[in-house]
Structure 1
């Protein structure tokens, strides 16, 4: 693995992978309810669900995001210089999604849950970028 060979420990690589995959999955907490709300798709599941989306769907997103993140980390490794642009883009997406669910989709539950979940990764990203001198 390129990131591991570049001097990072396996545990650092796994933490980075878990953070990337979880941040993508957190975004899906906004995306799927929006698509269901707009009737782009319908779930026919009797299992546990959040706003009509089966919880197993989020596990599927976590698995898919883990695979794609592992590929990205293996191909690109760890950046030598951290920029804040990805954090700004992710924070903007989180903020606009939260506002959209409050005012356009009238779903405060999704706004709060999605905003908190994505907000955690925004705060972690800001803290990490400050520690790396971005």
Structure 2
């Protein structure tokens, strides 16, 4: 029994909780899909614009909106919004410390081009941590977690490891870090931030990716803590995959000059996580369908026997 139904059974306000969950289930996917489409349109516009910087904050905002709406379809509006806020605050705290101490990413600074800022950190950066954090969490759950619909595997060491949640959290953290293979080179191109020294990957130091992985793991843990017991939540995988495709095409053919290295590195990394999540979701759907058919057959079998006896 899910949390909403339990609340309904315990408290007079339970019917309102059911209504809110139903509203999220009905509206979340539609609003999320609309936000993804708008995000793609703005990304295309920014790719052909002479000044793509003004598109950055709206694109991030639509990414965040899509992630919240698609997460709400499974967890409800309150939890999805709270998880986004918690992830955004976690990312903001890391950036706030980073520009002042160099930890955990390395020595860098924001140039003041990306507005608005809060204490020296662009608010769009915090929103990016929250929005893509939710999407990467869903990717990690889909690709490396054990879904609630999976059969129990008490005797399986692998099953116990999956149920611990750590593979999903680590997978989500790696999926989120993979995005930075695109993000940092693109933002450096746009002049939104600068590194104090030349790094090995298009000017980005290796320490940045180590810091991203550490912060991403913390973001995954925070999201897991807010959302609670994992549920099937395939929707946010979509904006993750769309972002991977758009960035790959952008660096390969749209941006001037193109950068095949970044297109290959980011596209391979994000693409691998997208394919892994989508493949496991399809397999899970087939397994649930087969179990449903088997259950239906077990229910109808005795009825057919009774019908033949009456006949």
User: Above 0.5 in TM-score?
Assistant: yes
The residue aligned with 2:208 is 57
Cα RMSD, aligned residues only:
2.4
Which residue is 2:108 aligned to?
none
Are 2:251 and 1:101 aligned?
yes
The structure number with the bigger radius of gyration is 2
What displacement does 1:41 show?
A: 1.5
CA deviation vs aligned residue, 1:80-111 (integer Å, no higher than 9, x gap):
3242x222211110000011112214111000
Distance 1:91 1:78 in 2: 24
Q: Which residue does 1:127 correspond to in 2?
A: 279
Query: Are 2:184 and 1:32 equivalent residues in the alignment?
Result: yes
**1:56-75 pair list within 5 angstroms:** 56-75=207-226
TM-score, scaled to structure 2: 0.38
Q: Aligned residue pairs: how many?
A: 128
Structure 2 counterpart of 1:86: 236
What residue is the counterpart of 1:42 in the other structure?
194
User: Which residue matches 2:172?
Assistant: 20
Asked if 1:117 corresponds to 2:262, the answer is no
Structure 1 unpaired stretches of 5+: none
2: CA distance, partners of 1:86 / 1:60: 24
Give the distance between the partners of 2:217 and 2:232, measured in 1 at CA: 23
CA deviations over 1:5-25 (Å, ceiling 9, x no partner) = x88976321100111000000
Q: SS at the partner of 2:263?
A: helix
Identify which of structures 1 and 2 has the higher relative contact order when contacts are C-alpha pairs closer than 8 Å and 6+ apart: 1
Structure 1-normalised TM-score? 0.84
Unaligned runs of 5+ in 2: 1-144, 154-158, 287-311
